[in-house]
Structure 1
Amino acid sequence: MPTTASRTVLSLAALGLLAAGCGDGSKGSGASEPAPDTRPRALEVAKAWDGSSAAETWRAGYYPLGDPVQLPDGAFHSGDDKEAYLTQNFTLRGDLPRTSRKDGKVTWRDGDSLTLPLMEARATYDRLDGSDGPGPRLTVTGAKLGETTLATSRGPATVPAWLFTIEGYDTPLKRVALGPSRPPKPPIGPVGSPTAELWELDRVVGVAADGRSVTVRAHHGACDDGPAVDVLETDGGVVLSGYMVGTRDGLCTSQLLAENVTVELDRPLGDRLLLDAFTGRPVRGAE
């Protein structure tokens, strides 16, 4: 599967996980071993969700699959601006508006809609500005309430968004002003501890405009050749199975990495459930 070069490093100790394989620098047999058979578990997850009350609840709710932030046109003007965004380093210059509206409406292309609590501009800004550290910053000078389009578990939807004016940019940075619906209790439990054969996926990065591919953040260890993701498609769901490839024998440093992996689908995702074989749950989106 194609992957990006960008990686995220997390603490294995914080997750209570042990890295699988490697560490002594010698190549084990993992690199030439056949890929694990992920199909039995994927089928088990697909069958558990098919026709379940959890699936009905999921299809009736709002669960975003795309990035809740839409960058200004031409972003970014400089490496410093990009670093500021990635490190969540923002400065607020001026006041943010308040609104008397308490609710916002999600509207799908088929006309269905759902009303959810609307986030105030300040609360939405706080989700952008997650750092008080040193380094370059982006300056927000104002905001107004508007809309944006976002991929969801039920297809593209129009949702309320706060449009933040960024110093130096002609168009606003848009940030979705709604949180997802409460997820249902899954009809199947997780596998247990991660192994080289199956790892939990991190999150959905995005869905292609035509629905024919999905990009997810997939975990792997510090001493392997990266992640891979298998796909099982049914009429009601798409089950993704993440695992590591090219593992090495021996001890490994305590790091958990993540890379973007894009998987191609035989037909558009549509309103089919996007499921994680390891957890038995829908793959979460960014919030």
Structure 2
Amino acid sequence: MRTHVTRTLRLLTVLAVGAASACAAAGCGTTGADRGVAQPRSIESTPQGTRARQVADAWDGSKAAQEWHKGFYPLGEVVQLPEGGLRGEADKRAWDIGNLDLTGKLPGAEPGSGRVTWESGGSLTAPLLQAEQAYRTLDHAEGPGPALTVTAARLGDMKVATSRGPATVPAWLFTLAGYDSPLKRAAVSPSRLPASPIEPLGQDVPTDVLAPLGGLAETAQDGRSLTVVATHGSCDDGPTVKALETSGSVVLSASTTGSDDGPCTSELRGEKVPVKLDRPLGERIVLDAFTGRPVPYGEWPVTGQSRS
């Protein structure tokens, strides 16, 4: 196994430079857990904790955070299967590979914008995806195989979990042959992310010290845990994720364990890792310590249930 001394010193050097422009420390945050196992509350005394604190200080109360709180950022599926799910292995396989067969005619151009409305109050107007655009995000198989047959589509709405709580959003409702309820696909895209108030780390930081996250896969209904996709390679024992919590954010620090110098392939793998929180997420921003940016929902790996 390789020593972590060199890479830890390298990250400390990077953080020392970044600290000069970071915000002054604002109250002490708390740490979460990785893989559902309790972790020692020592993240802030590590290089990862130093970086996480810098990211939290940069975002908490910032203009970027204010912009983020006004936007539409899904924390749940923007594609919802018919009630009861798909029936039969052929239909499930068709969905997994993204193979749809359009036999009807999709609606033409609709009005250019739709309204996202939150249960807690507030709304915003966002550009509408055309039916054809929404359909193409679902149908992308390039070879033969089982297919789901789409016979019609109409504009309706659906509920989506977001960073501001549950919201009702415009959605394309696709009629599937053999199903009584539609396949739903949100007809509005997430808001553009605000410019981050802190720069990302350089790519020369080893992944067994700190690595970028692949995406946010799930948020528990009670808000007390997250599932994120953490990336790792073929010559390690997998990823680990720790959390630093503040009043305004949850900063996640991902890294790999068990790295060695043996021959490795260049394959990048994604693994879902649950992270427990000390208190419900609420409207706090989930941030990536490596990139210094909010963790996007469903970015990696792209699956049939989370295409956007």
TM-score range, shorter chain: 0.7 to 0.9
Instruction: Work out which structure has the larger RCO, using CA pairs closer than 8 Å and 6 or more positions apart in sequence.
Output: 1
In structure 1, distance between residues paired with 2:228 and 2:176: 29
Q: Does 1:135 align with 2:145?
A: yes
Q: CA-atom RMSD, angstroms?
A: 1.9
> What do residues 40-66 of structure 1 show as CA deviations (whole Å, max 9, x unaligned)?
111110001111111111111111122
> What do residues 157-181 of structure 1 show as CA deviations (whole Å, max 9, x unaligned)?
1111111111222221111110111
**1:198-213 paired onto structure 2 within 5 Å:** 198-213=210-225
**1:55-134 paired onto structure 2 within 5 Å:** 55-98=65-108, 100-134=110-144
Please say if residues 89 and 136 of structure 1, whose CA atoms lie closer than 8 Å, have aligned partners that are also in contact: yes
Please say if residues 213 and 262 of structure 1, whose CA atoms lie closer than 8 Å, have aligned partners that are also in contact: yes
| Same amino acid, percent of matched pairs | 55
Q: Does 1:195 align with 2:207?
A: yes
> What do residues 69-90 of structure 1 show as CA deviations (whole Å, max 9, x unaligned)?
1111232322222222122111
In structure 1, distance between residues paired with 2:109 and 2:266: 47
In structure 2, distance between residues paired with 1:139 and 1:2: 39
Q: Which runs of 5+ in 2 are unaligned?
A: 1-33, 37-42, 299-307
Larger deviation, residues 248-257 vs 96-105 = 96-105
Please say if residues 228 and 274 of structure 2, whose CA atoms lie closer than 8 Å, have aligned partners that are also in contact: yes
> What do residues 209-255 of structure 1 show as CA deviations (whole Å, max 9, x unaligned)?
22222111110111222211111110000011111123233121110
Q: Does 1:151 align with 2:161?
A: yes
Q: Report the 3-state secondary structure (helix = DSSP H, G, I; strand = E; otherwise coil) of the residue aligned with 1:104.
A: strand
Which residue type is aligned with residue 207 of structure 2?
T
Distance 1:169 1:223, change over 3 A: farther
Q: Choose the corresponding residue for 1:224, options 221, 224, 236.
A: 236
TM-score (norm 1): 0.84
**C-alpha deviation, 1:37, in angstroms:** 5.0
Q: Report the 3-state secondary structure (helix = DSSP H, G, I; strand = E; otherwise coil) of the residue aligned with 1:119.
A: coil
Q: Does 1:238 align with 2:238?
A: no
TM-score (norm 2): 0.79
Please say if residues 81 and 138 of structure 1, whose CA atoms lie closer than 8 Å, have aligned partners that are also in contact: yes
Aligned residues: 257
Please say if residues 96 and 121 of structure 1, whose CA atoms lie closer than 8 Å, have aligned partners that are also in contact: yes
Q: Which runs of 5+ in 1 are unaligned?
A: 4-34
Counterpart residue number, 1:14? none
Q: Which protein has the bigger strand share?
A: 1
